């Protein structure tokens, strides 16, 4: 029997160089794993099996202070590893947070020279990502924020950010690149408060950009959960707006520091509804596992972490298929929704005559309010399917 949970290229699963390459360093302790070169990370992903793509920040591939000769050698080795593993570069991004020059932000810095440098660095990041055939470019404003609002006018910060994105959209188009830009929100960490803290903030910004069609979002499970929000709803808003250009899958306990746990490992029920949403609505972009293995993991366990991320997604995808096909679920779903083409037609678009008809309608409020909604049973059946009780 074929293994239903074995990933293939069609699943479009990707990992970042910084995720499987994570050395286990945290604010309280040094690395627990060896530093791997970009080529070694790609080879590790090849060993994992079923990985479609790899993603990088400019400086994950080429260190910020590399000479031209060093850069050429790293790129050559990386390209050779991509070839041997048949892994493609899916997404590129810029590190606008690691170097001290960005200690007070990049596009939103108070220093015009830092803002210009950030844009120049991103132009080069776009060149590098295009060189390797990436199709998505992510913007995560790691340092775009403050510890104290005395530091910056937050309205000015929004304007500076918009102007940088507008400039870079034009740069990409003028350079003949076919990128889609995906904006990634996060409420805090590393800054005390970050601008554009939720996916919804970016969805509100996008229509005000010069090239709104080029720009979408890259929501991340952990980031929305850090803000105490329902991630599935954030993704639904993006999908509905046609703006889900990329997604960062990981997991996170609510109310904790940024944990970057393996997808589905902390909140499997949320993960289930997320996978169901993506599959039901036929999201066909890359699914990027932006997470890292426990600090205790060695190389073999990092491989298990990567395999487990994809396997959990595919298990939940199969659960979603069962949920959709389940007789009892179907019958419960029929019970809970009452459709009426006539009534829907009445409220589908305003006309004076529809408003008049609606105004004259008599509703039996008590009867409507007393309808049975067996959501307890529906939720329990969902849990049974999830827990493997048939």
Judge whether 288 counts as a catalytic residue.
Answer: no
Residues 58, 60, 104, 290: which is the catalytic one? 60
Residue 142 or 308: the one with the smaller Cβ distance to Mn ion is 142
Among residues 87, 89, 130, 138, which is the contact residue for ligand GCO, using CB under 6 A? 138
Q: What SS3 class is residue 117?
A: helix
Q: Are 312 and 276 spatial neighbours (Cβ–Cβ below 8 Å)?
A: no
**CA pair distance 252, 79, nearest whole angstrom:** 33
**CA pair distance 109, 151, nearest whole angstrom:** 10
If contact means CB under 5 to 8 A according to the sort of partner, which of Mn ion, ligand GCO, none does residue 93 touch?
ligand GCO
Among residues 220, 238, 247, 261, which is the contact residue for ligand GCO, using CB under 6 A? 220
Among residues 104, 144, 184, 224, which is the contact residue for ligand GCO, using CB under 6 A? 184
Contact segment (CB under 5 A) with Mn ion among 38-46, 73-81, 104-112, 212-220 equals 212-220
Residue 136 or 275: the one with the smaller Cβ distance to ligand GCO is 136
Q: What SS3 class is residue 239?
A: helix
Any contact of residue 290 with Mn ion (CB under 5 A)? yes
Compute the half-sphere exposure of residue 301: CA atoms within 13 Å on the CB side of its CA.
Answer: 13
Give 325's contacts (C-beta < 8 A, 6+ positions apart). none
Q: Which residues, 90 to 119, sit near ligand GCO by CB under 6 A?
A: 93
Q: Which residues, 324 to 353, sit near ligand GCO by CB under 6 A?
A: none
Helices (H), 49-182: 58-61, 68-85, 112-131, 154-174
Any contact of residue 251 with ligand GCO (CB under 6 A)? no
Any contact of residue 59 with ligand GCO (CB under 6 A)? no
Residue 20 or 81: the one with the smaller Cβ distance to Mn ion is 20
Strand ranges in the chain using DSSP code E only, listed in sequence order: 13-16, 53-57, 88-93, 136-140, 145-146, 180-184, 193-194, 215-217, 247-249, 287-289
Any contact of residue 248 with ligand GCO (CB under 6 A)? yes
Of the candidates 381, 270, 5, the residue with the CA atom closest to the CA atom of residue 389:
381
Any contact of residue 220 with Mn ion (CB under 5 A)? yes
Among residues 290, 303, 310, 319, which is the contact residue for ligand GCO, using CB under 6 A? 290
Contact segment (CB under 5 A) with Mn ion among 129-137, 240-248, 309-317, 337-345 equals 240-248
Neighbour tally for 343: CB within 10 Å: 12
Among residues 33, 115, 160, 186, which is the contact residue for ligand GCO, using CB under 6 A? 186
Residue 187 or 200: the one with the smaller Cβ distance to ligand GCO is 187
Any contact of residue 224 with ligand GCO (CB under 6 A)? no
Token match 């305003």: residue? 350
Judge whether 60 counts as a catalytic residue.
Answer: yes
Q: What backbone torsions phi and psi does residue 387 show, to the nearest 5 degrees?
A: -85, 0
Neighbour tally for 122: CB within 10 Å: 25
If contact means CB under 5 to 8 A according to the sort of partner, which of ligand GCO, Mn ion, none does residue 138 touch?
ligand GCO
Of the candidates 123, 28, 160, 138, the residue with the CA atom closest to the CA atom of residue 93:
138
Active site amino acids: 57, 60
Contact positions vs ligand GCO (CB under 6 A): 57, 93, 138, 140, 184, 186, 220, 248, 258, 290
């Amino acid at each position: 029997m074929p293994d239903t949970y074995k990933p293939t290229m069609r699943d479009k699963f990707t990992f970042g160089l910084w995720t499987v390459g994570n050395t286990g360093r945290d604010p309280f302790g040094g690395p627990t794993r060896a530093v791997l070169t970009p080529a070694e990370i790609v080879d590790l992903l090849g060993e994992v099996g079923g990985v479609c793509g790899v993603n990088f920040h400019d400086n994950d591939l080429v260190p910020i202070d590399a000479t031209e000769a060093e850069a050429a050698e790293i790129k050559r080795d990386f390209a050779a590893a991509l070839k041997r593993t048949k892994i493609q570069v899916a997404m590129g991004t810029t590190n606008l947070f690691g170097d001290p020059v960005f200690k007070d932000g990049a596009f939103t810095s108070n220093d015009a020279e830092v803002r210009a440098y950030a844009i120049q660095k991103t132009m080069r990041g776009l060149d590098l990502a295009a060189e390797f055939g990436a199709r998505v470019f992510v913007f995560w404003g790691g340092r775009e924020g403050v510890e104290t609002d005395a530091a910056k006018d937050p309205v000015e910060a929004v304007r500076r950010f918009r102007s940088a994105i507008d400039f870079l959209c034009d740069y990409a188009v003028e350079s003949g690149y076919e990128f889609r830009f995906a904006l990634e929100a996060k409420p805090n960490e590393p800054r005390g408060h970050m601008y554009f803290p939720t996916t919804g903030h970016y969805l509100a910004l996008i229509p005000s950009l010069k090239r709104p069609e080029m720009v979408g979002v890259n929501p991340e499970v952990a980031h929305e959960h850090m803000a105490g929000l329902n991630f599935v709803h954030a993704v639904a808003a993006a999908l509905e707006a046609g703006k889900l250009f990329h997604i960062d899958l990981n997991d996170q306990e609510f109310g904790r520091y940024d944990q970057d746990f393996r997808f589905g490992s902390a909140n499997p029920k949320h993960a289930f509804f997320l996978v169901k949403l993506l599959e039901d609505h036929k999201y066909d972009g890359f699914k990027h596992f932006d997470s890292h293995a426990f600090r205790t993991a060695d190389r073999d366990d990092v491989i298990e972490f990567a395999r487990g991320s994809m396997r959990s997604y595919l298990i939940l995808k199969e659960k979603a298929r069962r949920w959709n096909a389940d007789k009892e679920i179907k019958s419960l779903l029929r019970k809970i929704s009452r459709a009426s083409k006539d009534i829907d037609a009445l409220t589908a678009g305003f006309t004076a005559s529809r408003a008049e008809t609606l105004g004259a309608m008599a509703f039996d409020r008590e009867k409507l309010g007393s309808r049975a909604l067996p959501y307890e049973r529906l939720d329990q059946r969902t849990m049974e399917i999830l827990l493997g009780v048939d």
